[in-house]
Structure 1
Amino acid sequence: MQGVSLNLGVVFMTCRCLALPSALLAILLLLGGCIGRMSDDLSRAVLDHPDPQTVRQGIPAYLLLLDSLLLDDPTDKKLLASAASLYALNSSLAAADPVQRRRQAERTWLYGRRLIESRGAEPLSERSADDFAAALARFGKRDVPRLYAFGVAWLARLQANEEDPAALADLPKVEALFARLVELDEGYQQGAPQLYLGVLRLLRPPALGGVPEQGRAHLERALELSGGRNLTAKVELARRYARMLYDRELHDRLLNEVLAADPTAEGLTLFNVTAQEEARALLASADDYF
């Protein structure tokens, strides 16, 4: 669904863990309180890994570990954030199988909602626009990690159901959520709230009420917040902005800059390698598009 797909390659930025050998997984189940620190170490391993295929192959075992830990403690916020993030990543990696992608996304949604929605209260995602805006205003800076994980889980669900008009009707709420995250902490995850907001604000062309310059500004700010190291922001500028305005010169310049860059950057290497793969594909299709 060209022009509407949310391209959740950027969901990689939320991943908190990497699978371990099965014997070590069994040991981890006995460690209890050590899992939080291990998750942080695994997060760095994932984000700094240069091979997406290795990460893809390692994910399933750790997903099962998180599921088992959450059976014992279903309200642990750190585990819920890790599970929501990793299932979102796995959903994006399952793009070739739409059924598996939807299953993974629903698991993401389960954990993401549990992170943010109080027992007995009306689900945040189902509130009216006015009630939703009021609820967002009550979140503060300390809530950014769980609100962000919830937003990414929601995006993963929309991506997996992108042909469902009912699911896409939630896009204004998701956009409002990331706008709130930008207000609270635009630099979280090296500018990820700005990156997501930029993508969301570039989904509609000007003829349908879109304001491309706003989207461009958000993506450029995301790039600035990462110190220029986040190659995904440049890919999204080419894909969302340059293609929307049929600016071939800008499109090719951005993508060639991505390919010429060193993808190695703390916390961004995995995303940057993926961004370079996408840049090659976009350049290869440019003659047909333009």
Structure 2
Amino acid sequence: MKFRSVLLSCFLCMGILFSSCSLNKVATKAVANALSGTGSSDVFTGDSDPELVAGALPFAIKMYEALLSMQPSHQGLILTTGSLFIMYANAFIQGPAEMLPVEAFEEKLIQLERARLLYLRGAAILASGLEQKYPGWGDAYEKGVLDKYLAKLKKADVPFIYWHAAGVLSAYAMNPFDLDLGMRLPELTAAIARAYELDPDFNSGALDDFYVLFYSSVPEGMGGDPSKVELHYRRALEKTKGLAPGPYVSYATAVCVPAQDYATFKSCLESALAIDIEKDPPNRLVNILSQRKARYLLDSAPDIFIDLDP
């Protein structure tokens, strides 16, 4: 109901945008505040129908982009628009592409490239927000002054850092030969570490889940550290209070598959599937998608583990 009323306000405002320049700014700012305020994303993340959200998100993203073009300095719009690009790329482009059958190899490559470009698009929007708040942020690492900028960050900046790093690193994971993105790993590592200092409980352990994937996947010389994976995995489980399948799926894919540890892999995914997603309504959508991935991984185990008898 809240989202529908906001949309109605949006369309009403669009009808009067051309009456005056000042009214244009007031109207678009009011809509921007409503669409990027606290709880505005629950209409997507709390939905129980992934296909419905997958169909609605492209329109929503373009609407946010249109508003952002009229309010380019609106921090709430920057965060919402950038993070939606990254969420959409992960949940509805990369995720389904990775589950395509072997015979759809060419289509898989096309979709993964599309996801990579969307990741970078979202990350660029978020980077613009950080640059607006902290002029010079974009080239601070190259100039050797990143520490000075990191010291300025506040708790409110953590979502920007998290989603920006997630977008860049997701794009890099799809093409490890991208030297430009690879050169940015130390910068992203330092920024995420600062974000963890400011808000270690951000989004119920999202940073810990991030670290499970980061420390286990990135080479040690570039910031990876396998010795820290177990610590952050346990913290992620603790902070999500056992209500999120995500940490189990992350550990199964990032740790158990490379180690060819099928027993732990199976245990993690069964734990993910045993979670009652109705106990965490605001995160219903992401939990449904995580459980879908868990089922897919269990079904695909014979293709993943060398010694497993089909």
What TM-score does the superposition give when structure 1 sets the normalisation length?
0.81
Matched, 1:27 2:12: yes
Superposed CA RMSD: 3.2
Larger relative contact order (Cα-Cα within 8 Å, sequence gap ≥ 6): 1
Contact 1:124/1:135 (<8 A) preserved: no
Letter in 1 for 2:297: L
Contact 2:123/2:163 (<8 A) preserved: no
Matched, 1:150 2:164: yes
1:175 shift after superposition = 2.5
1:129 shift after superposition = 8.7
d(CA) in 2 for partners of 1:230 and 1:258? 7
Q: Which runs of 5+ in 1 are unaligned?
A: 1-17
Q: Which protein has the bigger helix share? A: 2
Q: For residues 176 and 37 of structure 1, do their structure 2 counterparts lie closer, same or farther at Cα, with a shift above 3 Å needed?
A: same
**In structure 2, which of residues 249, 271, 277 is the aligned counterpart of residue 263 of structure 1?**
277
Instruction: For residue 229 of structure 1, give the secondary structure of its aligned residue in structure 2.
Output: coil
Name 2:295's counterpart in structure 1: 280
d(CA) in 2 for partners of 1:38 and 1:208? 38
* Larger displacement relative to structure 2 (105-114 or 193-202): 105-114
Letter in 2 for 1:256: E
Name 2:103's counterpart in structure 1: none
Instruction: For residue 202 of structure 1, give the secondary structure of its aligned residue in structure 2.
Output: helix
Letter in 1 for 2:141: R
1:289 shift after superposition = 2.6
Instruction: For residue 94 of structure 1, give the secondary structure of its aligned residue in structure 2.
Output: helix
**Identical pairs, percent:** 23
How is 1:103-182 mapped onto 2 (pairs within 5 angstroms)? 103-118=117-132, 121-124=135-138, 127-128=141-142, 130-159=144-173, 161-182=175-196
Name 1:94's counterpart in structure 2: 93
1:205 shift after superposition = 6.8
Matched, 1:217 2:215: no
Contact 1:29/1:69 (<8 A) preserved: no
Contact 1:101/1:160 (<8 A) preserved: no
Per-residue deviation, residues 37-91 of structure 1 (Å, max 9, x unmatched): 3444441121111222211110111112111111111010000001101111222
Letter in 1 for 2:190: A
Equivalenced residue count is: 274
Per-residue deviation, residues 207-227 of structure 1 (Å, max 9, x unmatched): 999532311211221221111
1:119 shift after superposition = 8.5
d(CA) in 2 for partners of 1:126 and 1:98? 31
Contact 2:244/2:275 (<8 A) preserved: no
Matched, 1:37 2:51: no
Q: For residues 63 and 191 of structure 1, do their structure 2 counterparts lie closer, same or farther at Cα, with a shift above 3 Å needed?
A: same
1:136 shift after superposition = 1.8
1:114 shift after superposition = 0.9
* Larger displacement relative to structure 2 (156-165 or 42-51): 156-165
Q: Which runs of 5+ in 2 are unaligned?
A: 16-26, 98-110, 306-310
1:160 shift after superposition = 5.5
Q: For residues 125 and 94 of structure 1, do their structure 2 counterparts lie closer, same or farther at Cα, with a shift above 3 Å needed?
A: farther
* Larger displacement relative to structure 2 (69-78 or 206-215): 206-215
d(CA) in 1 for partners of 2:188 and 2:215? 11
**Which protein has the larger Cα radius of gyration, Structure 1 or Structure 2?**
2
What TM-score does the superposition give when structure 2 sets the normalisation length?
0.76
Per-residue deviation, residues 258-279 of structure 1 (Å, max 9, x unmatched): 1122122133211111111111
Runs of 4+ in 1 over 6 A off after TM superposition: 18-24, 205-209
